[in-house]
Amino acid sequence: MEVNLEWYRVFYWIARTGSLSKAAEQLHITQPAVSHTVKQLESTLGGQLFFRTPRGVTLTKEGSVLLAYIEQAFQSVQIGEKAIAEMNNLNTGEIAIGASDTLCKHFLLPYLEQFHEQYPGVRVRVTNRTTPETIALLKEGAIDFGIVSLPVSDKQIAIRESSPLQDCFVGGKSYRAIAEGPPLSLEQLSQFPLLLLEQGSLTRSYLDDYAASQGITFAPEFELGSVDLLVQFARSGFGLAFVIRDYVEEELARGDLVEIPLTEPFPQRKIGIATLRGIPQSAATRSFLALLP
């Protein structure tokens, strides 16, 4: 059975108003169009839905049964429209974000706090993964956008460049004399015990690729799973850690860490805001992205 859903809308308003003419006014169509629609609906359903009376129309038994279901359907539609309106007004909704532990802590967290204060009804879910894993989650549709370390190259991903990142090597207090001495080349640096992120992260791949372009291969003393661990090991004197300068400013200011000068500082990188090309974003996602630099 094929029924035009607009017929049910006409039926609903006739039942609500008890009049074909009033239903026509409500629907902004002519009364003959309303009468024709009722005949089509009755013919398709195989039964009379209204009795004509001097005051208008009255539902038949079959019409009353149909109205009970149509009212439920219209209420469901109204609830759906209200839910969408609330989502568009950011009274509710959900955002799924992917970011590494480091980017979440040092870049994303202030914006999470700001967004939550403005839109407490929107739920924000953060998945902590490396940049390659974040890109994979984005392509799977598991997150709405990702905060990643650049460079990233993928035809399916749109990247908006954000805050700059400056990489450097730091050590504990025992390396102060080296930090105050002449700058080191990468080859000289490679002779020291090095603390690097585990392989698989974009930051580690970037460092290895850059060193290889200079004819250097780093053999780390320790490979660790997070920048926080790198900082702790460096403070304890285990070696020189490859970190982002902005994320250890407090330790450098207190003297817990010292930066090792290089003859050729690492090229500046940037944080990227990654989204999937061609996929529309929710109102909540658009609002959050607007907060990010």
| Calpha distance 261→248 (Å, rounded) | 15
Nearest to 131 by CA among 209, 202, 206: 202
Which residue intervals of the chain are DSSP H helices?
A: 5-17, 20-27, 31-45, 61-88, 101-103, 109-118, 131-140, 176-179, 186-189, 202-213, 227-235, 249-254, 283-291
Q: What pLDDT shows up at residue 282?
A: 87
Q: How far, in Å, CA of 79 to CA of 70, rounded?
A: 14
The confidence band for 15, taking pLDDT boundaries of 50, 70 and 90, is very high
Distance CA(213)–CA(208), nearest Å, equals: 9
**Which domains, and CATH codes, for the chain?**
5-88 (1.10.10.10), 94-163+271-291 (3.40.190.10), 167-267 (3.40.190.10)
pLDDT digits (tens, 9 = 90+) for 172-203: 999 999 999 999 999 999 999 999 999 988 89
DSSP-derived secondary structure letter, 122: S
Over the stretch 63-116, which tens digit does the pLDDT of each residue have?
999 999 998 888 888 777 777 776 676 778 889 999 998 999 999 999 999 999
Q: What is the mean pLDDT of residues 157-165?
A: 95
pLDDT at residue 82 in the model: 72
- The band of 273, judged by pLDDT with boundaries at 50, 70 and 90, is very high
Its pTM stands at 0.69
